Amino acid sequence: MTTSVRIDSISTSLTPPEQRCQFWESYNGKQLIGLRCSTFSDEGFIASGKNIHIDNFGIAFIRANEHVVERNIHIVKDLPKESIFFSLGLSSHSFFYQGKECFKPDINDLIIYRTDKPYLFGFSSNMKQLTFDIPYERHHLLFKKTINLDTPRIIKSDTKKNRFLIKTLYHLGMQYLEDPNQNKAETFKHEIIDLLGSILSENFNDSDTLGLSYLIAAKHYIFENLHNPDLSCEEIAMTCELSSRHLTRIFAQENTSPKQYIILKRLERAAQLLSSSEKNYSNISEIAYQCGFSNQAHFSRAFKIFTGMSPKEYRKLNLI
């Protein structure tokens, strides 16, 4: 499967101080999101950023001095964007306001919010931020009912489980930003999305970080081998140096099994390919094969149970 990867970088250092905020606004409007930027620093706005787009999934890393960004109602209307942002703050002295909610996150807290609603994000000292961008229309498929997005949400890094998962999220994100390998893009995207789902779930208790580490390793192997129709619980367990029974118990904490999880991820990937206009995947039987289904009839039955429509019907409705 060929995954589209686009990489963009920006720095205000070579821009005259009086033009930096406007320059930042223009860049972000094209690459990330429309917003208004202002700073009260005597040295002007100093910022740099890197954006990576993997199909319709995005990751951004930003460094800057003190500033405020605002996405007001006029910008929401003029530059619409319907996404969920997962913003990981890597510095202190910030605040976030949206609707009637105002947060003052600590370092390594994760803020989740919709971009089709106005918001204000402020930083009173030097800041670093890692943000993941997921299209809003995909969130029900990705997170089911684990998140209510009518209001923003903050995930505190004040428990052992959350610290472990957020730390893993940070390391995976920064590793890919440093080495955005196109061959690893699809696996990275699915790992991040699945990890965000785990952060939002309450299936694991605070002391079971070892089980979570095994689960993350198992899912990584699954994502890399979804195309293999013979992928089995035994093979995954052996790779993770676990027994099949132990691996099954770990997956059971997420109310699933390795087999069920593999089928779910194959169907999600198939849904993604059916929504693509890529000529290489115009044939539904080829999509089934690429997603690890050796039998097209089995794929069609499973896909209809999953989405409520046949692969052909889904493609007609969702083709972009």
- Judge contact between 200 and 146, C-beta under 8 A: yes
Alpha-carbon dihedral angle through residues 109, 115, 120, 121, given to the nearest 10 degrees? 40
Q: What token pair was written down for 33?
A: 């999101």
C-alpha to C-alpha distance for 271 and 279, rounded to whole angstroms: 15
Q: How confident is the model at residue 140 (pLDDT cuts 50, 70, 90)?
A: low
- The neighbouring-strand residues paired with 259 are none
Residue 113 has a pLDDT of: 94
pTM attached to this predicted model? 0.88
Residue 141 has pLDDT above 60, yes or no: no
Per-residue pLDDT tens digits for 223-252: 999 999 999 999 999 999 999 999 999 999
Residue 320 has a pLDDT of: 56
Alpha-carbon dihedral angle through residues 10, 16, 22, 23, given to the nearest 10 degrees? -20
Q: How confident is the model at residue 149 (pLDDT cuts 50, 70, 90)?
A: confident
| Mean pLDDT, rounded, of the chain | 90
CATH numbers and ranges of domains, the chain = 5-157 (2.60.120.10), 203-318 (1.10.10.60)
Residue 79 has a pLDDT of: 95
C-alpha to C-alpha distance for 16 and 23, rounded to whole angstroms: 10
Residue 89 has a pLDDT of: 94
Per-residue pLDDT tens digits for 158-176: 989 999 999 999 999 999 9
Per-residue pLDDT tens digits for 281-319: 568 999 999 999 988 999 999 999 999 999 999 988 876
Residue 276 has a pLDDT of: 73
What are the residues whose beta carbons fall under 8 Å from the beta carbon of 245, sequence distance 6 or more?
A: none
Q: What token pair was written down for 186?
A: 């699809």
Q: How confident is the model at residue 260 (pLDDT cuts 50, 70, 90)?
A: very high
C-alpha to C-alpha distance for 215 and 231, rounded to whole angstroms: 16
Per-residue pLDDT tens digits for 172-214: 999 999 999 888 998 999 899 889 988 887 777 766 788 899 9
Residue that wins the pLDDT comparison between 253 and 97: 97
Per-residue pLDDT tens digits for 9-19: 999 999 999 99
Residue 119 has a pLDDT of: 97
